Amino acid sequence: MAQHVLALDQGTTSCRSILFREDGVAIARAQQEFEQILPSPGHVEHDPDEIWETQLKTAREVLQSSGVELADVKAIGITNQRETTVIWDRRTGQPVQNAIVWQSRITSELCQEIADQGHVQTIRDKTGLLLDAYFSASKIKYVLDQDESLRRRAEAGELCFGTIDSFLIWKLTGGERHVTDYSNASRTLLFNIHELTWDSELLELFDVPASMLPEVVDSSGVVGHSDASLFGVSIPISGIAGDQQAATFGQACFQVGDVKNTYGTGSFILMNTGASPVQSKNNLLTTIGWGIDGKVTYCLEGAVFIAGAVVQWLRDGLGLIENSADVEALTSEVEDSGGVELVPAFVGLGAPHWDPDARGTIIGITRGTTK
């Protein structure tokens, strides 16, 4: 019998599961959106429990619809939206509040305060990243600073932090494993990408207790096993990577200089720089692509926060379309935009500007502009 891999793709707007045959052919898939929580302008949250329930539902759907024997599912691989911050109770596994999403600008002022203290270059030298609300560290600090009881619990070792991969693995293993991989760790502003370890100076700077942090493991290799009660059998969890790094690997960008670009919720271009990190002179990010056998591959990245999310906004925010697919038909009805341009800075601008205060703009409107 053929062997199969269950891929869990936890994205910014939906959870998707795909069952792959050993030759790489996808034989079953399921996808479901979940709620985007928008408490204030520029702030985005997700309900971690809804993410877990949605991801689990899609996984069960593909296993059932495929007709594959569960014994022939040999591994689970996880790819996830990056930087999004979940904090949960170590004993119960319950999140202490909603996840703060990578798009959220709620910590922009906090980042500016840290920048004003002169820490920007130190952070960049250690992490390869710019000091920005995009990344996880300021989100953790924000949550703990808002509630003294949470900080006390964190310092007592009662709370866990993780990006979405960590939270899913915790839930899949019934709380047995608290881990993340190199690619996700490198997106937190707390991980030293040269020493490949959580950085004590950065933990002190952001006032994050080390006890909250997951163990950092290879992107490829068995890190735990799913609880048998979830799928009927226990399946090894043997692959983890942030979504954009996973896409880079999936597009076979294995050689130095290989580049991929992904259009999803946002748009992200990554270039393989090999075994050595390269610091950009043009405000690109230096990040870890993946780690295998304790050795990491580095990438340069340009991050645009809003791309496909514009389509969701047209549907849910403006009500101009009923379904995302309607966009294709609408664009075919006109030759061009008539000079109208949209700058989708709904949550600020990413590379190369990194302006958290920028906001969306429509320009070029004339009397001839129509719906």
CA separation for the pair 315, 334 (Å, rounded): 19
Residue 332's pLDDT is what?
Answer: 81
| Main-chain dihedrals φ then ψ at residue 221, nearest 5 degrees | 140, 150
Residue 11's pLDDT is what?
Answer: 95
* 329: three-class secondary structure by DSSP: helix
How confident is the model over 334-370, as pLDDT tens digits?
Answer: 888 888 998 998 888 888 998 888 889 999 998 888 7
Q: Which of 214, 223, 285, 234 is nearest to 78 (CA)?
A: 223
Residue 266's pLDDT is what?
Answer: 87
CA separation for the pair 115, 181 (Å, rounded): 28
Q: Do 306 and 346 form a contact (C-beta atoms < 8 A)?
A: yes
Residue 1's pLDDT is what?
Answer: 67
CA separation for the pair 233, 153 (Å, rounded): 35
Asked if pLDDT for residue 18 goes beyond 70, the answer is: yes
Residue 322's pLDDT is what?
Answer: 80
Pair of tokens at residue 265 = 């919720």
Instruction: Give 10: exposed, middle or buried? Use CB within 10 Å, 0-12, 13-18, 19+.
Output: buried
How confident is the model over 38-94, as pLDDT tens digits?
Answer: 999 889 999 999 999 999 999 999 999 998 999 999 999 999 999 999 999 999 999
Residue 65's pLDDT is what?
Answer: 93
The residue with greater pLDDT, 146 or 330, is 146
Q: Do 264 and 333 form a contact (C-beta atoms < 8 A)?
A: no
How confident is the model over 166-176, as pLDDT tens digits?
Answer: 999 999 999 99
What count of Cα atoms within 13 Å lies in the side-chain half-sphere of residue 175? Answer: 10
Residue 312's pLDDT is what?
Answer: 83
CA separation for the pair 358, 348 (Å, rounded): 5
Question: Structural domain boundaries of the chain?
Answer: 4-244, 309-363
Among 122-136, 225-239, 319-333, the range scoring the smallest mean pLDDT is: 319-333
Residue 308's pLDDT is what?
Answer: 84
Residue 357's pLDDT is what?
Answer: 84
Average pLDDT, the chain: 93
Mean pLDDT score, 145-174: 97
Instruction: Give the CA dihedral 139, 140, 146, 149, nearest 10 degrees.
Output: 160
The amino acid that residue 255 corresponds to is Q
The residue with greater pLDDT, 310 or 259, is 259
Could you say which DSSP state residue 244 is in?
A: H
CATH number of 4-244: 3.30.420.40
CA separation for the pair 240, 77 (Å, rounded): 6
